[in-house]
Amino acid sequence: MLTVGFIGIGTMGRDMALNLIAAGHRVQVHDVVAAAARSLADHGAAVADSIADAAAGADLVVTMLPDTPQVEEVLLGPGGLAEHPPAGGVVVDMSTISPEATRRMHAALARVGVSLLDGPVSGGPIGAKNGTLSIMIGGDQAAFEKARPALEAMGKTIVHVGPTGAGQTAKLCNQIMVGLNLQAVCEALALGRAAGVDLEVLRQVMLGGSAASWMLDKMGPAMIAKDDKAGFRIDLMLKDLRLVGELAFSVGLPLPGTALVTSQYLDARAHGEGGLGNQALFRVYDRMSNQGE
């Protein structure tokens, strides 16, 4: 069993930390919002008031933070992990951030003897809760083996994709699939609705054939019921699509499908829907087909 520092007790981090505790690891939790960390005290976590306390005596530290700037602050900022490295010398950043920034931070932490793994996840809040996330690891194989028992408490599919940054690159490819699959579901449901077909019947029959997809299966019911409660927020998806765009620019690759769906997510945000779940992309199609409330 490991001692794990866990920084970023948000939508995903909270359940991931709970799964680490359930697997028997000692978990030291920290969040810039102190109440978020404190909420895990009754569940067996040690509450850490600082990054240094979260890392103290830890075999590894996991970060689960919104975006690149927050990860940079926690890793390299004043009072951060470069100044207070975990005893075991391993940090796993499970946030979705820039692969290029990940490589820079890996080099900076290597100078203080810490191995940074990138380990972004797919599977959303349900995967975090059930411990069934898909985890995409980039970085050093030996550090990966050290972290493996902790990763196994949080995920089911755990793949070492390649060197530092490769995990984040895989996650960005994953997000292209997420965006375009969701767009495909929206478009099929929008046409079915406009042409007068029962959407649940349509969903069922499509699930039985070559149109079946995770999105249609898991998000279709919420889309049909107009249940837009936040799961994976549109604002977070736009952050990921921004990272996809930056990577595509850096390698000079046109991504026409991604460009279109990014515009549709921006349309959603412009209509005040950034805080809604991903499935609210269907509202964009409501507006195009005059099917709003």
Residues forming contacts to ligand NAD in the complex (CB under 6 A) are 7-13, 31-33, 36, 64-66, 70, 73-74, 95-96, 121-122, 124-125, 231-232, 236
CB of 201 to ligand NAD, least distance (A): 29
Q: Decide: 152 and 186 in contact? Cβ < 8 Å.
A: no
- Of the candidates 70, 62, 74, 81, the residue with the CA atom closest to the CA atom of residue 20: 62
In the bound state with ligand NAD, the residue whose beta carbon lies nearer, of 152 and 235, is 235
The closest residue (CB) to ligand NAD is 10
Say which of 146, 171, 226, 229 is annotated catalytic.
171
Residue with tokens 């992990």: 81
CB of 15 to ligand NAD, least distance (A): 9
What residues contact 148, with CB distance under 8 A and at least 6 apart?
158
CB of 175 to ligand NAD, least distance (A): 9
Q: Is 171 a catalytic residue?
A: yes
CB of 139 to ligand NAD, least distance (A): 17
CB of 67 to ligand NAD, least distance (A): 6
CB of 85 to ligand NAD, least distance (A): 16
Angle at 275 between CA 271 and CA 278, to 5 degrees: 90
In the bound state with ligand NAD, the residue whose beta carbon lies nearer, of 96 and 164, is 96
Q: 248 phi and psi, to 5 degrees?
A: -60, -40
In the bound state with ligand NAD, the residue whose beta carbon lies nearer, of 232 and 285, is 232
Pair type for strands 121-122 and 133-138: antiparallel
- Of the candidates 89, 99, 71, the residue with the CA atom closest to the CA atom of residue 145: 89
CA distances from 293 to 11, 228, 271, 283 (A): 29, 13, 14, 10
In the chain, alpha helices (H): 11-22, 34-38, 51-55, 68-76, 99-110, 124-130, 141-154, 166-194, 199-207, 214, 220-224, 234-251, 256-270, 282-288
CA 212 to chain centre: 23
In the bound state with ligand NAD, the residue whose beta carbon lies nearer, of 45 and 202, is 45
In the bound state with ligand NAD, the residue whose beta carbon lies nearer, of 133 and 216, is 133
In the bound state with ligand NAD, the residue whose beta carbon lies nearer, of 70 and 132, is 70
Beta-carbon-side half-sphere exposure of residue 228 (alpha carbons within 13 Å): 13
CA distances from 81 to 38, 185, 219, 252, 275 (A): 21, 42, 38, 34, 30
Q: Which two tokens stand for residue 102?
A: 């990940």
Active site residues: 171
